A and B are shown apart, each in its own frame.
Chain A
Amino acid sequence: MIEQLKKIQTEATHEISAVEDLGSLEDLRVKYLGRSGLLSQLIKQIGSLPADEKPLIGKLTNETKGLLEALWQEKLAQLKQKAAEQGDEKIDLTLPAYSFFVGHKHPITQIMEEACSIFTRLGFSIAEGPEVESDYYNFQALNFPKEHPARDMHDSFYISDDVLLRTHTSPVQVRIMEKSRPPIRIIAPGKVYRRDADITHSPMFHQIEGLLVDTSSSFSDLKGILTVFVHQMFDPQTKLRFRTSFFPFTEPSAEVDISCVMCRGKGCRVCSNSGWLEILGAGMVDPEVFKAVGYDPEKYMGFAFGMGVERITMLKYGINDIRLFYENDLRFLRQF
Chain B
Amino acid sequence: MKISYKLIQQYIDCPLSPEELSEKLTMAGLEVESLEKRGPDLSCCVIGQILDINSHPQADRLTVCRVNTGAGISTIVCGAQNMKPGDKVPVALPGCRLPEGMVIKRSKLRGVVSEGMMCSEKELGLSEESSGLMILPADAPVGRDIVSYLGLNDVILDIDLTPNRGDCLSARGIVREIAALTGVRPKKMVVDFPEQGESIENLVSIEIRDPDLCPRYTARVISNLTVAPSPRWLRDQVESFGLRSINNVVDVTNLVMMELGQPLHAFDYDLIQGKRIIVRRAQDGERIITLDNIERQLTSRNLVIADANRPIALAGVMGGANTEVSDQTKTILLESAFFDPVQIRRTANEFGLHSEASHRFERGVDPEGVILALNRATQLILSVAGGCAAKGVIDRYPRVFIPRVVRLRLPMIQKVLGIEVPPDRVIRILEDLECLVAQSDEDTLEVQVPLFRWDIEREIDLIEEIARIYGYDNIPTSLPGGAPSPERKIPFKDIEARIRNILIGLGFCEAINFSFICGQILNLLSSPATGSSCLGEGRVRLQNPLAEDHDVMRTSLIPGLLENLAYNQNRQIDNIRLFEIGRCFFSSSNGSLPEEKAMLALVMEGTREPRSWKGKPAPLTFFDLKGVVEALMVGLKIDNYAMTPAESRWLGSSQSANLMVGDKVVGSLGKVGQSIMEYFDLDKEIFALELLIDSLVSSEARRGIRPIPRFPSVSRDLALVISEEVPYREIEESIREMRIEILEDIQLFDLYRGAQIPAGKKSLGLSLTYRSSTRTLTDQEVNKVHERVINQLSQKFSASLRE
Interface mask (B339-353 → A, CB under 8 Å = 1, otherwise 0): 000100110000000
Interface mask (A246-283 → B, CB under 8 Å = 1, otherwise 0): 10000111110000000000000000100000000000
Query: Among the listed stretches A21-29, A70-78, A215-223, which one makes contact with chain B, having 4 or more residues with CB under 8 Å of it?
Result: A215-223
Residue of A95, A101, A159, A225 near B577 (CB, 8 A) is A101
Closest to B598 in A: A128
A241 to B: closest C-beta gap in Å: 7
A106 at the binding interface (Cβ < 8 Å) = yes
B362 at the binding interface (Cβ < 8 Å) = yes
Using A103-B577, A163-B593, A330-B576 as known contacts, say yes or no to A126 and B162 having CB atoms under 8 A apart: no
Using A158-B544, A252-B464, A330-B573 as known contacts, say yes or no to A103 and B509 having CB atoms under 8 A apart: yes
Residues of B near A126 (CB, < 8 A) are 488-490, 493
Residues of B near A228 (CB, < 8 A) are 479
Q: Complex formed: what's the CA distance from A222 to B577 in Å?
A: 42
Residue of A221, A242, A326 near B472 (CB, 8 A) is A242
B649 at the binding interface (Cβ < 8 Å) = no
B504 at the binding interface (Cβ < 8 Å) = yes
B610 at the binding interface (Cβ < 8 Å) = yes
Residue of B460, B486, B571, B576 near A251 (CB, 8 A) is B460
Q: Complex formed: what's the CA distance from A245 to B472 in Å?
A: 11
A3 at the binding interface (Cβ < 8 Å) = no
Residue of A127, A220, A243, A272 near B417 (CB, 8 A) is A220
A150 at the binding interface (Cβ < 8 Å) = yes
A148 touches B553 (CB 8 A): no
A244 touches B27 (CB 8 A): yes
A223 touches B31 (CB 8 A): no
Residues of B near A255 (CB, < 8 A) are 31
**Which bracket fits the contact residues of A?**
35 or more
Residues of A near B228 (CB, < 8 A) are none
Q: Complex formed: what's the CA distance from A23 to B486 in Å?
A: 67
Residues of B near A63 (CB, < 8 A) are none
Closest to B581 in A: A109
Closest to A113 in B: B497
Q: Tell me the A134-185 residues at the B interface (CB within 8 Å).
A: 134, 147-150, 152-153, 157-160, 162-163, 165, 176, 180, 182-185
A327 touches B567 (CB 8 A): yes
A184 touches B417 (CB 8 A): no
Residues of A near B567 (CB, < 8 A) are 327-329
B418 touches A131 (CB 8 A): no
A205 to B: closest C-beta gap in Å: 10
Using A225-B480, A329-B567 as known contacts, say yes or no to A159 and B512 having CB atoms under 8 A apart: no
B257 to A: closest C-beta gap in Å: 18
B735 at the binding interface (Cβ < 8 Å) = no
Q: For A133, A243, A326, which residue has the most chain B Cβ atoms within 10 angstroms?
A: A243
A99 at the binding interface (Cβ < 8 Å) = yes
Q: Complex formed: what's the CA distance from A215 to B482 in Å?
A: 8
Residues of A near B520 (CB, < 8 A) are none
B568 at the binding interface (Cβ < 8 Å) = yes
Residues of B near A183 (CB, < 8 A) are 482-485
Q: Tell me the B690-716 residues at the A interface (CB within 8 Å).
A: none
Q: Complex formed: what's the CA distance from A203 to B163 in Å?
A: 22
A103 touches B163 (CB 8 A): no
Q: Complex formed: what's the CA distance from A109 to B541 in Å?
A: 27
B483 touches A242 (CB 8 A): no
Using A96-B613, A103-B507, A184-B485 as known contacts, say yes or no to A130 and B596 having CB atoms under 8 A apart: yes
Using A105-B504, A130-B596, A243-B26 as known contacts, say yes or no to A221 and B510 having CB atoms under 8 A apart: no
B590 at the binding interface (Cβ < 8 Å) = no
Query: Among the listed stretches A4-12, A43-51, A191-199, which one makes contact with chain B, having 4 or more residues with CB under 8 Å of it?
Result: A191-199
Q: Complex formed: what's the CA distance from A225 to B480 in Å?
A: 8
Closest to B561 in A: A328
Q: Complex formed: what's the CA distance from A259 to B610 in Å?
A: 44
B609 touches A100 (CB 8 A): yes
Residues of B near A132 (CB, < 8 A) are 540, 553, 585, 593-594, 596
Q: Tell me the B470-519 residues at the A interface (CB within 8 Å).
A: 472-473, 475-490, 493, 497, 500, 503-516
A219 touches B416 (CB 8 A): yes
Residues of B near A204 (CB, < 8 A) are 514-516
Closest to A124 in B: B485
A19 at the binding interface (Cβ < 8 Å) = no
A312 at the binding interface (Cβ < 8 Å) = no
Q: Complex formed: what's the CA distance from A16 to B469 in Å?
A: 96
B528 at the binding interface (Cβ < 8 Å) = no
Q: Complex formed: what's the CA distance from A126 to B497 in Å?
A: 13
B46 to A: closest C-beta gap in Å: 30
B542 at the binding interface (Cβ < 8 Å) = yes
Closest to B617 in A: A98
Q: Complex formed: what's the CA distance from A125 to B412 in Å?
A: 29
Using A99-B612, A243-B26, A327-B567 as known contacts, say yes or no to A149 and B362 having CB atoms under 8 A apart: yes
Number of interface residues of B (CB under 8 A): 94
A57 to B: closest C-beta gap in Å: 41
B780 at the binding interface (Cβ < 8 Å) = no
Q: Tell me the B568-584 residues at the A interface (CB within 8 Å).
A: 568, 571, 573, 575-578, 582-583
B558 to A: closest C-beta gap in Å: 14
Q: Complex formed: what's the CA distance from A228 to B478 in Å?
A: 10
A100 touches B472 (CB 8 A): no
Residue of B34, B473, B542, B577 near A242 (CB, 8 A) is B473
Using A219-B475, A244-B472, A330-B573 as known contacts, say yes or no to A100 and B507 having CB atoms under 8 A apart: yes
B176 to A: closest C-beta gap in Å: 15
A221 touches B346 (CB 8 A): no
Q: Complex formed: what's the CA distance from A124 to B582 in Å?
A: 23
Using A99-B612, A203-B546, A327-B567 as known contacts, say yes or no to A221 and B509 having CB atoms under 8 A apart: no
Residue of B29, B34, B593 near A243 (CB, 8 A) is B29
Residues of B near A329 (CB, < 8 A) are 567-568, 571
B613 touches A95 (CB 8 A): yes
B614 at the binding interface (Cβ < 8 Å) = yes
B464 touches A103 (CB 8 A): no
Using A159-B542, A185-B485, A218-B418 as known contacts, say yes or no to A101 and B596 having CB atoms under 8 A apart: no
Using A148-B163, A158-B542, A243-B29 as known contacts, say yes or no to A220 and B503 having CB atoms under 8 A apart: no
A108 touches B418 (CB 8 A): no
A212 at the binding interface (Cβ < 8 Å) = yes
B506 touches A101 (CB 8 A): yes
Q: Complex formed: what's the CA distance from A123 to B479 in Å?
A: 12
Residues of A near B544 (CB, < 8 A) are 157-158, 195
B504 touches A131 (CB 8 A): no
Residues of A near B612 (CB, < 8 A) are 96-99
A103 touches B512 (CB 8 A): no
Residues of A near B514 (CB, < 8 A) are 203-204, 326
Q: Complex formed: what's the CA distance from A252 to B463 in Å?
A: 7
Closest to B472 in A: A242
B479 to A: closest C-beta gap in Å: 4
B457 to A: closest C-beta gap in Å: 10
Q: Complex formed: what's the CA distance from A184 to B485 in Å?
A: 5
B545 to A: closest C-beta gap in Å: 7
Mark B residues whose CB is within 8 Å of A. Answer: 26-29, 31, 34, 162-166, 342, 345-346, 362-363, 414-419, 458, 460-461, 463-464, 467-468, 472-473, 475-490, 493, 497, 500, 503-516, 540-546, 550, 553, 564, 567-568, 571, 573, 575-578, 582-583, 585, 592-594, 596, 609-610, 612-614
List 20 extra interface pairs beyond A108-B512, A246-B29, CB under 8 A. Answer: A96-B613, A100-B609, A101-B506, A103-B505, A103-B508, A103-B510, A124-B485, A128-B493, A132-B553, A134-B592, A149-B363, A193-B515, A212-B485, A217-B480, A220-B419, A220-B475, A224-B477, A245-B31, A252-B460, A330-B509
List 10 tightest A-B contacts by C-beta distance, closest first: A101-B507, A220-B418, A244-B29, A103-B504, A218-B418, A246-B162, A252-B464, A244-B468, A328-B511, A149-B163
Q: List 22 A-B contacts (CB under 8 A).
A: A96-B612, A98-B610, A101-B506, A101-B577, A103-B505, A103-B507, A103-B510, A125-B487, A125-B488, A126-B488, A127-B490, A131-B583, A148-B163, A152-B163, A157-B543, A165-B542, A183-B484, A218-B418, A219-B472, A220-B417, A251-B461, A330-B568
